[in-house]
Structure 1
C-alpha cells in the first residue's frame, strides 16, 4: 500500500497526524508546501492525500486540481478553518473526498482518513477486477447482437437500460459500455439500489451535508459526485423507492441535484446506465415506477439473453471459469469430460452465468480428479430444477459411508435431449440407467413412498457408476432402523432387538459395525 501524504505548512499538524497514523500502522509522507508535493507526483502517488487549503505559495486547491487531473482515483481530504468554508465548498466541487475543519478532533481525523483509505483500496480492487476481466464471452447469435450494440454505442453518451434475468451479466455489459466510451478514463461507479436500505439510499446517491440527519458527523459525497465525468451504473433500478425516482428523474432531466440537507445545487456530468431483471412496463402499469422516469431511462435498451437461450456458449464459459478459479487458487485447471459437459449444457441454470461460475468454483475445490465426470458434479444438480420431488431424508450412521437418501434425478436434468412424456406418466421423474443415453431405458419411480426414495438413490448411484450400491444403502437402512428402535426403547438394545425381530448378538454386532452411539444393556 502506498503512503498517506500530509501537506501542511504547520509543522505541529503534520507531527500530530504522523504520530496518530503511525499508531494505526499506516505509513505517511509529509510535505511543508504544495509545490513539493506536486513535484513528488512526477515519480510517485499517495494512497490518500491530506492537504491544508491556505499555504504560502501554491494553495491546496491548486494541488487538488493537479492530483485530480493526473490521478482522479486518489481521495483528497482538505483541511480548512471554519472561516474558509466557502473554500471547502469549492474543494468539493473540485472533487475532494471530505474536509477537516480546524480545530479538528484527532480520532475523527483518523477515522476520516481510514474511510478515504478504504475508498481508495476499493477503487483499486474494482480497477484490478475490471482489468482482469476479459471481454464478454459468447458466440451465440443472441450475444453477437449485444456485442454489435456495444460497438454502436461506443462513442455515445446516451442513457442505456439493460434488461435480463438475474445473473446474466448486466454489470459486465455496463462496464464494457463504459470501457468503450469516451468516458473510459473516468470513474465507473456501481450501485445496487435493491441492496441499500431505503433510508440510506438517498444519501448513497446524492451525498449529505454535515448534520443533515442523526449520525451525519461530516459531509459525504454521493455516488453521483464520485462518478463525475464517468459512468454511474444503477443496478436493479426497478426496486428504487418511488420518492427517490423523482429525484433521479430531475438529475437525468437537467443534470442538477442537491445533497441531503444541502442548499447548493450541484452539477452532475455523469452517464447513467440502469439495469433491472423486472418488467418495468408492468411496474409502470401497477403504479410502482414513474412512467416519465421509465421513458427517460429507456433511451437505448439492451436485453441480455438467459443462459438457456445461448447454450452453445456454456462450454467456453465453463472452461473460462474453471481456468479463472484454478488461477485464483493456484492449482491446475480441471477438465470437464464430454458427457459431463453435455449434462451441464442441458441444465436449466436459473441463476444463469453467475450460477455457472459458482458451479465451476465448486468443481475446482470439490471434484476429486482432474477430469470431471457426471458423478463428480454436485448431487443437487440431479434434482429437477422446476419441480423438485418431495424431499425426505433417511440419515445414515457414522459407520460405513454414511450419507443420506435424497430425492430424485430428473430426466430433463440427466439427459438434456429427453423430455418428460405427456399424461400421468409425464409428471413422474425418470432416471436413466448407467448406459449411454441412446440405449438407456427410463426407470419411472413413484415419488410418494419411502421405498421410491431408495429406488431414486440407487438409480443415482448406478448412474454415477458406483459398484457398492447394495452395501452402502443396506448399511444406511440398517443404521436408520436400529437408531429409531434404540430411540423408542430409550437406548436399551435388548428391547430394541426384540422390537426389530433380530437377536441380541446381531444387534450388538450391528451397533459396533455401524458406529451407532447411545446403546446400553437392559
Structure 2
C-alpha cells in the first residue's frame, strides 16, 4: 500500500534519508523538524502515518501523542528514539503508538512497519498503567534488548500466556516481574515457583495446595501457589523440570481454567496469568518424550527469547554500573569503573550471564580498596571466577577442596542475600559439563568407555551429553 507519510525529526540527515527511501517506495512524504512544524503539517497534509522522534527542539514526541490522537484518532504513530530504554518502549505503547523503533534503525524495517501501519485501519494498543519511574526494571539499550522491550510492550496489557526462553542467569524472572508490574494485575500478587527446586512428589501440592489429611504429614490445609496468585501472576520457572504427572495436571488447568487441591473434590476457578520460563530446549524434550507437546503449545502463546549477556555489547558496562549502584545502596562501598575495566567486562564471554556479572560487581565493591575499579582488578577476579580444570588444582589440595572454595566464593558474591533457589541444580550442571567433556576427551570420544569410566550406563550418558550440549566427540586413531 502507498500512502501519505509525515516524518518528524530534528536531524536533517535523517529526514532526508527517510524521505527519499519512502519516496522510492511510492509514498508521498512530508517532513517536519519540530512539534510546531508537525502540527502545521498534520493540519494541511493529513498524513495516513506519522513517524516521529521523541526528543524534539520544542517538545517531547511522546507527550504530544495524546494531542495527535485526540485530533486524529485513527492515525497510526511510529515512534523513533535514541533513548533506547525499557521505559521508552513501554511509554510509546502506553501512549497508543503503533510501533516503536530504536535508533539507529534499519530503513527496511521502517518501511515494513509503515506498510503494516497503512494496512491497519485502526490500532489501539494503549496500556492503562502508571508511568514507570526512572528505577528501570530492565537495563540495556542493545538491539537484542530492544526486541525484548517491544514484545513486552505489546503483551503487557493482556492475559496471554508467555514463555520466556534463555540461558540461566539472563534475567527471566526479572522480565516476568516487569510484565506483571506494568500490567493490569500489578496490584495483585506475583508468585514465583521454581520447578527445579521442589521435590518431584511435592510439586502438585505446592502448585494446587492440599487439604488436611490428604497425605501423611498433611496436618493442616495448605494454599498452593495458584491460590496464592489469585488475581495476579503465577511465574513457573524452569518449567522443563516439571514431572510428567504435574504437566498433565497443569495442562488441565490451562484448558479448563480450574484446579483441584490434593485430597479435595472441590474445583477452584483459577484467575491467574501464567508466565513460564526455561533454559532448556523444550522442542528436544518433546522429541525425547519428557515434555508434553500439547502443554508446550498452551504455554508458548507468546515467546520471549532473552539474549545472552555476551550478545548485548555495551549493555555490559551499563549493567555493571547499575549493579555497583545497587551494591552501594545495600551498604557496600561506592565504586565506579574506569575505561579499562568497562572494556574488559565487555570482552568477557559471561557464561553465567547477568547473574554472574552482578556477583562479580558485588565482589569488586566489597573487596577492592580503591574507589575506582580498574581493568587489572576485573582481570584478577575473572581469572579466579571459573572452576579449576583437572590438573590445575593447587598443590596439596583435593579437587573437592578447590570446588568448595569456588562455591563459597559464588555464594559470598551475593553479600547478605542468598542465591536464587535451585542452587543445587545450577552447581551440579556447572560441574557435570566439564566432567563429561574431559572424560570424552580422555577416551577419544568412545562413549562406551566413557560410560564405564564414569560408572553410568550408556543411555544415561547420552542423555547427559545431549542435556549439556557436549559432543559428539570424534574418535582419533593412535
Q: Which residue of 1 aligns with 2:336?
A: 335
Q: Which runs of 4+ in 1 moved over 4 A?
A: 130-133, 383-389
Counterpart residue number, 1:267: 269
Q: CA deviation at 1:231?
A: 0.5
Q: What is the CA–CA distance in structure 1 between the aligned matches of 2:306 and 2:242, rounded to whole Å? A: 21
- Deviation per residue, 1:195-235 (Å, 9 max, x gap): 01111111110000000011111111100001111110000
Equivalent residue for 1:365? 366
Alpha-carbon separation, structure 2, partners of 1:330 and 1:380: 17
2:305 corresponds to: 303
Q: 1:131 to 1:283 in 2, by over 3 A?
A: farther
For 1:375 and 1:295, locate their aligned partners in 2 and report how far apart those are by CA, in whole Å: 48
For residues 165 and 273 of structure 1, what CA distance do their matches in structure 2 show?
17
* TM-score after normalising by structure 1: 0.49
**Helix, strand or coil for the counterpart of 1:377?**
helix
CA distance in 1, matches of 2:134, 2:154: 24
Name the CA distance, whole Å, in 1 between partners of 2:229 and 2:378: 42
- Equivalences for 1:235-254 in 2 at 5 Å? 235-254=237-256
Cα distance in 2, alignment partners of residues 307 and 352 from structure 1: 5
Q: CA deviation at 1:382?
A: 2.5
| Match 1:218 to one of 217, 220, 229 | 220
The residue that corresponds to 2:351 in the other structure is 350
Distance between the aligned counterparts of 2:137 and 2:293, measured in 1? 34
Structure 1's unaligned 5+ residue stretches are: 1-129, 397-522
C-alpha distance in structure 1 between counterparts of 2:192 and 2:344, whole Å: 35
Give 1:383 deviation, angstroms.
6.4
Measure the CA separation in 2 of the matches of 1:188 and 1:179: 8
Cross-structure match for 1:54: none
CA RMSD of aligned residues (A): 2.3
The number of aligned residues is 266
Tell me which residue corresponds to 1:376. Answer: 377
**Cα pair 2:276 2:299 within 8 Å, conserved:** yes
Q: How far apart, in 2, do the equivalents of 1:351 and 1:318 lie? A: 14
Structure 1 residues 180, 217: closer, same or farther in 2, change over 3 A?
A: same
3-state SS of paired residue (2:163): strand
1:184 to 173, 183, 186: 186
Deviation at 1:380, TM superposition (A): 5.3
In 2, are the aligned partners of 1:367 and 1:377 still within 8 Å (CA)? no
Distance verdict in 2 for CA 1:173–1:325, change over 3 Å? same
* Greater relative CO (CA pairs within 8 A, separation 6+): 2
CA distance in 2, matches of 1:241, 1:209: 22
Q: Distance in 1 between matches of 2:391 and 2:332?
A: 40
C-alpha deviations, 1:245-303, integer Å up to 9, x for none? 00000000111111011111111011100000001000000000001000110111000
- Over 3 Å counting, the alpha-carbon distance change for 1:313 and 1:386 in structure 2 is farther
Q: Secondary structure at the match of 2:314?
A: helix
Q: CA deviation at 1:362?
A: 0.2
- In structure 2, the partner of 1:438 is none
Tell me the alpha carbon deviations over residues 291-341 of structure 1, each in whole angstroms, 9 at most, x when there is no partner: 10001101110000000110210111000000100110153x211121121
